[in-house]
Amino acid sequence: DVLRHRSGGPLLSQAAPGGRKGAVVVTSEELASAIAARQLIPYYQPKVDLNTGLVKGVEVLARWLHPEKGVIPPSQFIPLAESEGLIHGLTVEVADQAFAQVARWRQHGLSLSVAVNLSPLLLDSPDFVVEAAELLCRYRIPAEQVVWEITESSLAADLGTALGNLARLRLKGCGLSIDDYGTGFSSMQQLSRVPFTELKIDHSFVRGAHRREHLRVILQSALDMASKMRLVTVAEGIETAEDWTLLQGLGCVLGQGYFIARPMPGGVLPAWLKEEGARLYKHVQAVVPPS
Ligand code: C2E
Ligand code: MG
Ligand code: MG
Ligand code: MG
């Protein structure tokens, strides 16, 4: 269990995909000073409408730009941040930078929704909701453009204080997304009590659906349920044109994945939109004849 990680100890994990072989070791002290020094920065992955190919928003994915160890992925510092009491500061710091970026894009006429991942630990205290509201105010971002993602596996059996805080975020106008849907054990009761606005299908279902009929049946039922509940449906891990076509055929509204784009620094996104936006539009025109 990541939350029971030894206090103060180094976090040993595997090298980043594509990175050098060997383990990257980081300590909580290093992480704390990296957060303060703004070495933790947001990358952005586009969320695309599978029917039109249009980019609707971005998901914020934290990266640690370590001066010696290179780009460290979140799997190697989020668990440490959670066990060492650093996750609150990390989230506010990354969200602050992301909202500043979104505000700059808005000034240039680029209106994108922004999704931020939330650790369940942040939902235990009311402070975060207040800070989140302050950030939206500071950068003049409409709450409707912000989505908070909570993984299905982090939904506790007893929602406790989390339910009130999720409801507060929703009442401010923000969207709430169930992330990695299919990997947790959310009950019908939780699905009906939390005012979710979006459901994100975990990439493992996208991957498996081509070969396994029963996975397609499960996917179809989840997508049907979600759309009847008026939730926006999103598929993660769209890695090929076939993935896109399959999920679109099952009625999934939005998609994210390497076929569309890898997470990228904010400065690169406008140029990517210019070049790749056209490719995605053409992709859709080629596979979906206009009706
Ligand atoms: P997530 O929220 O489910 O984000 C999706 C992950 O899948 C990202 O990994 C993304 O880079 C990766 N991904 C996107 N497209 C594809 C694809 O086509 N194929 C495959 N195989 N993977 C794809 P990343 O950036 O390493 O983040 C991992 C997880 O770390 C995230 O999963 C999220 O739960 C967590 N995380 C990231 N940033 C933050 C943060 O600021 N705060 C918190 N609490 N968690 C974060
Ligand atoms: Mg997410
Ligand atoms: Mg996810
Ligand atoms: Mg995931």
Complex prediction ipTM: 0.98
Confidence of residue 287 (pLDDT cuts 50, 70, 90): low
Min mean pLDDT across 70-74, 224-228, 284-288 is at 284-288
The ligand that comes nearest to the alpha carbon of residue 201 is 3
Q: Say whether 236 is catalytic.
A: yes
Confidence of residue 23 (pLDDT cuts 50, 70, 90): low
pLDDT at residue 279 is higher than 60: yes
pLDDT at residue 1 is higher than 60: no
The pTM of this model reads: 0.91
Residue 66: its H or E element: strand 55-66
Mutate to test the pocket of ligand 1, among 116, 236, 242, 244 (most ligand atoms within 8 A of CB): 236
Residue nearest to atom 7 of ligand 1 (CA): 237
**For ligand 1, which residues put their CB under 6 angstroms from it?**
45, 61-62, 73-75, 78, 91, 94, 117-119, 149, 151, 179-180, 203, 236-239, 256-258, 263
In whole numbers, what is the pLDDT of the chain averaged over residues?
A: 89
Q: What is the DSSP letter of 267?
A: G
Min mean pLDDT across 53-67, 91-105, 129-143, 156-170 is at 156-170
Distance (angstroms) between ligand 1 centre and the Cα of 139 equals 25
Q: Which residues pair with 59 in a beta bridge?
A: 45, 115
Confidence of residue 20 (pLDDT cuts 50, 70, 90): very low
Give the Cα separation of 56 and 90 in Å (integer): 26
Give the Cα separation of 163 and 155 in Å (integer): 10
**Better pLDDT: 192 or 31:** 31
Mean pLDDT across the stretch 97-101? 98
The ligand that comes nearest to the alpha carbon of residue 154 is 1
Mean pLDDT across the stretch 186-202? 91
Mean pLDDT across the stretch 197-204? 96
Give the Cα separation of 76 and 11 in Å (integer): 7
Percent of the chain as helix, strand, coil, to the nearest 5: 45, 20, 30
Burial 33-68 (b: 16+ CB within 10 A, else e): ebbeeebbbbbbbbbbbbeebebbbbbbbbbbbbee
Active-site residue (options: 68, 236, 242, 276) = 236
Residues above pLDDT 70, as percent of the chain: 90
